[in-house]
Amino acid sequence: MQKIIASVMISSLLLLGACATVKGVGRDIESIGKAGQDAID
């Protein structure tokens, strides 16, 4: 379980690093929340 959460966090950081706009950052933050929720469920 911890490995899944760690991989989600790492991929989320990579996605945030790739954002070029504020709108893109918002979408990435939303996707991080969804991925975290899926990992918890």
Show the tokens assigned to 12.
Answer: 């989320």
Which domain covers residue 26, as residue numbers?
A: 2-40
The label of the residue with tokens 């991080």 reads: 32
Does residue 15 contact residue 28 with C-beta atoms inside 8 Å? Answer: yes
What pLDDT, on the 0 to 100 scale, is given for residue 18? 63
Does residue 5 contact residue 39 with C-beta atoms inside 8 Å? Answer: yes
First to last CA, the chain: 11
Show the tokens assigned to 13.
Answer: 């950081």
What pLDDT, on the 0 to 100 scale, is given for residue 5? 84
What pLDDT, on the 0 to 100 scale, is given for residue 14? 77
What is the mean pLDDT, run by run of 10 residues, along the chain of 41 residues?
A: 84 71 75 82 74
What pLDDT, on the 0 to 100 scale, is given for residue 20? 58
The count of domains in the chain is: 1
For CA atoms 10, 14, 15, 20, give the dihedral sign.
Answer: positive
